[in-house]
Each structure stands twice: as structure tokens, then as C-alpha cells.
């Protein structure tokens, strides 16, 4: 290259760079596409389209829910504020036309006209293969199946092409509900087997990239971290044909921009916005904002009971009296949560969970309890939180820090990066921390089994162990399975009371799922998994 030529070409490039401004022209085809398409914007997208995959994240559950069918699903009922809410106790067939629950098994008759996206009919061998897969792949899906005592492939029996029986290992009230969660989805076994290999016998690599189900939608394009495009499956027979033809789900990392997109009318639905935004959008009334409590979910302050000073119940009670509950509700949650504190003194314990405890902010009482525990001088400790949810956790911990200082507890805030949070929880060494737990299956004994039982699961973040508590929890599980209502009620009340007097974890509030959508969007349904069900949504 010659010097002069280069210099000439540079000036040419500079001249070419002066680009004209361009107006956007909206053609009519474009307007039509809009009216049949749902545009969702959210912070994160799926990392895997198959819930059976390794490390599938929560947005991936949403894809699975809409693109695969299960044998059964829940009926809807009217929830808080008239919003349709899944009915915990009522089931309906999805792929199953009918089902019959016997003493030690349940038999499903499949719909004869159901087809997978590639046109092959859904048969009993697909059901068996899919359920075998769920209990065999390991990791989260297998764990979730075991929560309903579904652990062995032998439990799933093919009777004929369109009949499947699931045998119970033992009586467990959670077996049927566990068949209606996201995990036991039915996969196109012939198609996936073609792509399976010795190293990957369940074809997880194949289903990671594409959906192989029979559900109401199918993924037509997925660019990880950018967008997912789903088209309606017009041959879907497991329910009324959905109104939305196409779903475009875009990842927009900036919360402020997601709000701007909604308010300008460009996006149809968004969630995962800061509480303050939801509260403001609710107030100005331009959009529909639905806020519903997490079923069976609680944000709490946990204390490690194996180590001093929190091994002393008096200290734990003192902390429970020192927390700034109302301030957290107002300044952190902007009212978008159900308070789980300050129940009336004489209120009887209910057979329900979550329910508020009777602690309230009372610094004098807290000080007295600290003195009783021989800790009048206070102590120093650290309070940890997960940075992935810093929007809520950080102000919350600052308020707690401020409040605990009043009773002499000096706390340093320890921000744990999201990648590290689970490792830290598993170690069970953090003295004081805040976290959320929420169970898909909405039963008190389910929550307590994971969070308070002495078998010390990862969610028993306090390492709490009490023989009495274990007896009550196990008692409630047995009573639920055998249908002994009186014993069940007594046990549930018993473990709730014990959890509140021993107070290893202090419930703060039940968070809300907030979804903001345009006024012309209707049909939103609340599901236990808290993600969107496109099948019921209507635009216009």
C-alpha cells in the first residue's frame, strides 16, 4: 500500500461515514404481526430448553412449561384480587384424558389424538421413557421427583399403547401434585433417542437446543442471552387453542429500559423490575400490574444455631424483637409483600403456612432479652446476603444492621456474589443471613421438611436440629398420607408454634410476584412456578 493511496482512502471513508438520519416506516404487515405476537422482555433468558438438562435455569422452566405437556395439571380458581390462581387441590388431565387414583397406584388413559411437534403420536412408551428419564438423569429433576416419592423407573408401567400406571412406593400425599409440576414433562422419545449417544443416553444435548414435546408452543429460534421465539402449535389438543400465535421473548438487562419499553407500549409484558418501579406503575395506572404472593415462600433472617451467640434462643428472640419489620415493608418492598410479623397476641395458630408470627419491633424487650442471655454488652457478627438479589437484600441488610446496633449487636455486611452463594449456604457457616425459600408444592409439611427438619437439607440454612420438631414434621407427613385430619392439624400447629418460639429463622414477609403488562393483555394466571403460561394469555 502506498502512502498517498492510503491517505486518500482515509478521507474517502470519512466522507462515507456521514450517514443520513432515517425515519422508521411502519408497514401494515408489520402492524398485523404485532397484534398476534406477544413481546415479553425480561432480564435473563433460558440457558437450556429442557428442564431435565444439567443446570437448567429458571427462565428455562418457562420454556418447558409452555412447550411440553404433562400427564396432569391443575385447575384454576379465583385467587387474591380475582386473578386466576392454580388450585392446589384440583387436578385435570393434560395429556391424560382421564386418570384413576387407587390405593397404591394411579392409572392414566392418554388422549389418542395428541401428537408431538413432528407429528408422531404421543404414546405410553413416550410417557414411560420421559418419567424414567426424570428419575434417572440426576440433579434437580431427579431430586424434584423424589420429593413426591417417585424414584424408580419400575414405578412407571406401560399397560397398553395409551394406558400408563404409576405405582406408589409408599403412601405420600405429594405424589400426585409432583406429577403436575414442570419436571415430569413428556418428551418425544423416538426423536430424542435418535440423537442420544453412549455418553449421553438421555439425549440431553439434543433437547437442550430444541424442544421435542407436544406442548402448545414450540421454540422456532433461540439465541442464548438474546431472544427466544416460540410459535403456537396449531395441532395442540390438550386444551383450548391458545390465542397468541407467536411469542417473542427478548432479554433486556437494564430494568429502566424494560420499564420504558412497557410505558411506551413497545413491550407487552415484563417482570423482574425493582419494587419501586412496580409500585409507581401501579400508581400511575397506565399498565396492568398484577402482584400476587409467592405460594409457600418467605424471605427470612436466618441464624446459625450451632454456634454462639445464636445457639442461645434468648439471643434469637432478642433479634426477632429488634428487626425493623415495618421499615423493611415500606422502604424495601414498597408494600409489595405480605407481612409475616406482628400477629395479634391472642390469635390462635392456624393450620396453614406461611402465617405471621407474633414478634414486633420492640427494642426495650429485645434489650431485656439480651440481658437475660448475659449479652447485655452486645457482640459483633456478620450478616450475609446474595448479591444476585441485591436490589432487595442490600437495603434490607442495611436496615437490619442499623436496628441491631440499637441492642448492641454490631454487624458487618458481607455481600456474597451469586456464583458463590450456594457454596456458602452449603457450608452452613454464615452466622446471620437473609434468604428466600419457596416451595413448588404448597403444603406446610413440605416447607418444614426442607427448612426445619433435622436431616439438615441445604435449605435448613440454620442447621437447626430438634427431636421434637422432627417428630411433628414426620407425624404431619404420615397423617397427610393416611388422611388423619385431626392428627395432621395438631402436628402442623405444633411445628409452627415450635418454629416461632425457638425462632432459628425469623420470617419477614411473603414476597410478591409482580408482572406488568399492557392494558390489552388479559388472561394472566398465577402458577406455583411463578412463570408465565402463554396458553391462557389474550392480546386485544
Partner 1 sequence: MLTMIGKRLMFAIPSLIGVVIVTFLLTRALPGDPAAYFAGPAATKEAVEQIRKKLGLDKPLIEQFFRYTNDLAHGDFGNSLTTGQPVATEIRNRLPASAELTLLGLIVSVVIAIPLGVLAATRPGSWVDHLCRVTTTAGVSLPVFFTGLVLVYIFYFRLGWSPAPLGRLDVFYSAPPTVTGFYLIDTLIARDFEAFRSALSQLILPATTLAIFSLAPIARMTRASMLAVLASEFVRTARASGLSPATVIVTYAFRNAMLPVITTLSMVFSFLLGANVLVEKVFAWPGIGSYAVEALISSDFAPVQGFVLTMAVMYVLLNLVIDILYGVIDPRVRLEG
Using an 8 Å Cβ cutoff, are 91 and 70 in contact? no
For position 3 contacting partner 1 by CB under 8 A, the verdict is yes
Q: Applying CB under 8 A, which of residues 125, 194, 410, 422 lies at the interface with partner 1?
A: 422
Spacing of C-alpha 116 from chain mean position: 27
Q: Applying CB under 8 A, which of residues 12, 33, 98, 342 lies at the interface with partner 1?
A: 33
Long-range contacts of 400-406 (CB under 8 A, 24+ apart): 400/301, 400/323, 400/324, 400/328, 400/434, 402/324, 403/322, 403/323, 403/324, 403/327, 403/361, 403/363, 404/319, 404/322, 404/323, 406/322, 406/363, 406/366
Q: In the bound complex, what is the minimum distance in angstroms from residue 450's beta carbon to partner 1?
A: 8
Which residue intervals of 356-462 are DSSP H helices? 363-372, 390-405, 418-427, 444-451
Burial (CB < 10 A; 0-12, 13-18, 19+), residue 179, is: buried
* Nearer CB in complex with partner 1: 173/258: 258
For position 201 contacting partner 1 by CB under 8 A, the verdict is no
Closest to 289 (Cα-Cα) out of 13, 83, 113, 104: 83
* Nearer CB in complex with partner 1: 167/263: 263
Q: Applying CB under 8 A, which of residues 140, 334, 379, 389 lies at the interface with partner 1?
A: 140
**Nine-digit cell at 120?**
408422531
Using an 8 Å Cβ cutoff, are 163 and 152 in contact? no
Stretch that binds partner 1, among 29-37, 73-81, 472-480, 491-499 (CB under 8 A): 29-37
Question: On the CB side of 107, how many CA atoms lie within 13 Å of its CA?
Answer: 10
Given the C-alpha cell 394466571, which residue does it identify? Answer: 525
For position 25 contacting partner 1 by CB under 8 A, the verdict is yes
Q: In the bound complex, what is the minimum distance in angstroms from residue 382's beta carbon to partner 1?
A: 16
| Separation CA 538–CA 522 (nearest Å) | 5
Q: In the bound complex, what is the minimum distance in angstroms from residue 270's beta carbon to partner 1?
A: 12
| Separation CA 34–CA 175 (nearest Å) | 42
| Separation CA 140–CA 460 (nearest Å) | 17
Q: In the bound complex, what is the minimum distance in angstroms from residue 12's beta carbon to partner 1?
A: 12
For position 12 contacting partner 1 by CB under 8 A, the verdict is no
Stretch that binds partner 1, among 22-30, 339-347, 360-368, 492-500 (CB under 8 A): 22-30
* 504 Cβ contact partners less than 8 Å away, ≥ 6 residues apart: 302, 303, 305, 316, 452, 462, 464
Stretch that binds partner 1, among 13-21, 154-162, 475-483, 520-528 (CB under 8 A): 13-21
For position 183 contacting partner 1 by CB under 8 A, the verdict is no
For position 401 contacting partner 1 by CB under 8 A, the verdict is no
Using an 8 Å Cβ cutoff, are 124 and 160 in contact? yes
Strand 72-78 with 84-93, pairing: antiparallel
Given the C-alpha cell 419400575, which residue does it identify? Answer: 154
Using an 8 Å Cβ cutoff, are 56 and 45 in contact? no
Tell which positions 242-271 bind partner 1, by CB under 8 A: 248, 250-254, 256-257, 260-261, 263-264, 266-267
For position 18 contacting partner 1 by CB under 8 A, the verdict is yes
Q: Could you give the string, one character per residue 81-120, with x where binding to partner 1 holds by CB under 8 A and - elsewhere?
A: ----------------------------------------
Q: Could you give the string, one character per residue 303-342, with x where binding to partner 1 holds by CB under 8 A and - elsewhere?
A: ----------------------------------------
Q: Applying CB under 8 A, which of residues 101, 224, 376, 538 lies at the interface with partner 1?
A: 224
Q: Applying CB under 8 A, which of residues 35, 113, 382, 420 lies at the interface with partner 1?
A: 420
The reply to whether omega before 354 is within 30° of 0 (cis) is: yes
Tell which positions 447-476 bind partner 1, by CB under 8 A: 457-458
Footprint of partner 1 on this chain (CB under 8 A)?
Answer: 1-3, 6-7, 13-14, 17-19, 21-22, 24-25, 27, 30, 33-34, 37, 39, 41, 47-48, 53-57, 138-140, 142-144, 208-209, 223-227, 248, 250-254, 256-257, 260-261, 263-264, 266-267, 417-420, 422-423, 426, 457-458
Amino acid at each position: 500500500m502506498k502512502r498517498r493511496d492510503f491517505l486518500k482512502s482515509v478521507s474517502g471513508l470519512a466522507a462515507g461515514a456521514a450517514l443520513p438520519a432515517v425515519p422508521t416506516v411502519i408497514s401494515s404487515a408489520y402492524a398485523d404481526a404485532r397484534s398476534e405476537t406477544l413481546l415479553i422482555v425480561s432480564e435473563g433468558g433460558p440457558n437450556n430448553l429442557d428442564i431435565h438438562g444439567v443446570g437448567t435455569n429458571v427462565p428455562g422452566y418457562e420454556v418447558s412449561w409452555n412447550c411440553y405437556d404433562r400427564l396432569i395439571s391443575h385447575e384454576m380458581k379465583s385467587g387474591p384480587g380475582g386473578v386466576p390462581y392454580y388450585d392446589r387441590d384440583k387436578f385435570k388431565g393434560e395429556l391424560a384424558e382421564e386418570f384413576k387414583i387407587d390405593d397404591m397406584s394411579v392409572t392414566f388413559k392418554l388422549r389418542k389424538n395428541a401428537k408431538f411437534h413432528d407429528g408422531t403420536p404421543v404414546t405410553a412408551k413416550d410417557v414411560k421413557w420421559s418419567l424414567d428419564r426424570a428419575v434417572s438423569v440426576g440433579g434437580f429433576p431427579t431430586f424434584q421427583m423424589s420429593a413426591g416419592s417417585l424414584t424408580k423407573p419400575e414405578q412407571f408401567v406401560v399397560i397398553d399403547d395409551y394406558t400408563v400406571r404409576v405405582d406408589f412406593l409408599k403412601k405420600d400425599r405429594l405424589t400426585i401434585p409432583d406429577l403436575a409440576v414442570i419436571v415430569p414433562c413428556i418428551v418425544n422419545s423416538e426423536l430424542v433417542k435418535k440423537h442420544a449417544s453412549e455418553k449421553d443416553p438421555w439425549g440431553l444435548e439434543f433437547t437442550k437446543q430444541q424442544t421435542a414435546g407436544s406442548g402448545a408452543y414450540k421454540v422456532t429460534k433461540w439465541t442464548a442471552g438474546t431472544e427466544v421465539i416460540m410459535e403456537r402449535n396449531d395441532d395442540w389438543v390438550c386444551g383450548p387453542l391458545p390465542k397468541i400465535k407467536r411469542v417473542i421473548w427478548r432479554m433486556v438487562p437494564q430494568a429502566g429500559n424494560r420499564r420504558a419499553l412497557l410505558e411506551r407500549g413497545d413491550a407487552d409484558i415484563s417482570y423482574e423490575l425493582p419494587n419501586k418501579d412496580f409500585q409507581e406503575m401501579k400508581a400511575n395506572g397506565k399498565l396492568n400490574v398484577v402482584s400476587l404472593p409467592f405460594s409457600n415462600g418467605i424471605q427470612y433472617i436466618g441464624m446459625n444455631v450451632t454456634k454462639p451467640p445464636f445457639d442461645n434462643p434468648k439471643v434469637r428472640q432478642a433479634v426477632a424483637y429488634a428487626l425493623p419489620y415495618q421499615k423493611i415493608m415500606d422502604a424495601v418492598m414498597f408494600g409489595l409483600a405480605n407481612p409475616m410479623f406482628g400477629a395479634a397476641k391472642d390469635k390462635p395458630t392456624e393450620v396453614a403456612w406461611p402465617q405471621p408470627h407474633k414478634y414486633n419491633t420492640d427494642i426495650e424487650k429485645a434489650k431485656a432479652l439480651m440481658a437475660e442471655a448475659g449479652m447485655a454488652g452486645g457482640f459483633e457478627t456478620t450478616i450475609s446476603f446474595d448479591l444476585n438479589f441485591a436490589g432487595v437484600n442490600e437495603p434490607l441488610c442495611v436496615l437490619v444492621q442499623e436496628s441491631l446496633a440499637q441492642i448492641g449487636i454490631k454487624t458487618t455486611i458481607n455481600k456474597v456474589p451469586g456464583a458463590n452463594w450456594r457454596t456458602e449456604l452449603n457450608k452452613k457457616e454464615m452466622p446471620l443471613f437473609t434468604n428466600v425459600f419457596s416451595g413448588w408444592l404448597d403444603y406446610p409439611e413440605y416447607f418444614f421438611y426442607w427448612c426445619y427438619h433435622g436431616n439438615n437439607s441445604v435449605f435448613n440454612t440454620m442447621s437447626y436440629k430438634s427431636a421434637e420438631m422432627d417428630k411433628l414434621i414426620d407425624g404431619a407427613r404420615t397423617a397427610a398420607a393416611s388422611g388423619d385430619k385431626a392428627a395432621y392439624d395438631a402436628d402442623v400447629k405444633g411445628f409452627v408454634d415450635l418454629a416461632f418460639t425457638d425462632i432459628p429463622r425469623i420470617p419477614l414477609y411473603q414476597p410478591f410476584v409482580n408482572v406488568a403488562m399492557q392494558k390489552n393483555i388479559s388472561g394472566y394466571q398465577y402458577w406455583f412456578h411463578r412463570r408465565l403460561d402463554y396458553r391462557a394469555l389474550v392480546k386485544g
